[in-house]
Structure 1
């Protein structure tokens, strides 16, 4: 039987990874919504591991948005100079600090978050998921972009926004808040660029596995 010629009940098929990964904290080691927002901005086109490494010193120097307002762009750039695209990110963070004024003003809706410089839909989805907000989309990071088409949920596409849109059409809203990170964790741990298929909880429903091994 070819599972992929039928209308797929993806909520049921993806349940094994939801059971394992649901509620697992994002790999960014944040301690507040302020830290989460800053680290999400810094992590774009960079690794979570690198951001976790520079974060303690950064947050010692800048414990909140108010403290960032008091610095200048050059000094802020020096604090994140080991981060990819740090000149732009420093400017975005400084602009956000001046716009929001304090940590209590950090927005938690898709519309408001994506109005801030340096925060696109993927970043907003991460912030909303980690702070327990109702999902308005699905996290589509580089792991999801690789893994979701492999499984067979959607067609391959390198555009994160298109991947998110396709996933939102394919999956019920009831799992939007958790499924993005569940697929991401699967991609980080099992479905690597060179996948460890025999260890995968989804191998029985996976298009890639079916094509490779059946």
Structure 2
């Protein structure tokens, strides 16, 4: 049997328990508006959401909107993000984004327009679009999805997030794209961790490893 021959609707049915559990659950980044989300998503690349949440209040007290960020410069921004990984590069990205967009109401919400901005790839764009509740054009494939999706048996193992996203888009129906990536991510954050808590998993009965071995991987 080829694990990857399941039809789209069959996988949607199998994954329904995590969609029900996590649908519309807010992203772990503690943002309060779309501007903050964009900034925090850019800062979170190769860093933890928890770290970005820690530095965010002081950062946004100084730079409360896109206009204030656009009027600033890298040297003024860096002290507020110096605890973030690759802060120098990210400072350049954020200043360029702000100077391109200028105002909060100009923040774009399509895949092409978001990924045209410095520091925003498909994963980040998918997160922004999901949190903004606009139609999905892809599937969030963060590090948790990259780890968990193959473990479940959805796709072959890969470390390439773009490849993982494309494979998921091929096997999952478009009507769940907006929520399924984050649902798998939340599962990976809470239950299907590197050392998984299989007894708590709502989809262990369809999990490839669990089904094959009768136990956690």
Q: Same fold (TM over 0.5)?
A: yes
Aligned to 1:143: 144
How far apart in 1 are the matches of 2:209 and 2:57?
40
How far apart in 2 are the matches of 1:152 and 1:205?
8
Aligned to 1:91: 92
Equivalent position SS for 1:63:
coil
Deviation, structure 1 residue 211: 2.5
**TM-score, normalisation: structure 1:** 0.96
Equivalent position SS for 1:204:
helix
Structure 1 residues 61-107: Cα deviation after superposition (integer angstroms, max 9, x where no partner): 00001111222211211110000010000000000111111111100
How far apart in 2 are the matches of 1:179 and 1:119?
20
Aligned to 2:3: 4
How far apart in 1 are the matches of 2:112 and 2:71?
27
How far apart in 2 are the matches of 1:51 and 1:205?
35
Aligned pairs (5 A) from 1:169-208: 169-208=170-209
Name the count of aligned residue pairs: 213
**TM-score, normalisation: structure 2:** 0.95
How far apart in 2 are the matches of 1:69 and 1:7?
48
User: Residues 6 and 160 of structure 1: is their aligned pair in 2 closer, same or farther, counting only changes over 3 Å?
Assistant: closer
State the superposition RMSD in angstroms: 1.3
User: Residues 190 and 93 of structure 1: is their aligned pair in 2 closer, same or farther, counting only changes over 3 Å?
Assistant: same
How far apart in 2 are the matches of 1:6 and 1:176?
19
Structure 1 outlier segments of 4+, above 4 Å: none
How far apart in 1 are the matches of 2:52 and 2:5?
42
Gaps of 5+ in 2: none
Answer whether contact 1:3 1:205 (CA < 8 A) is retained: no
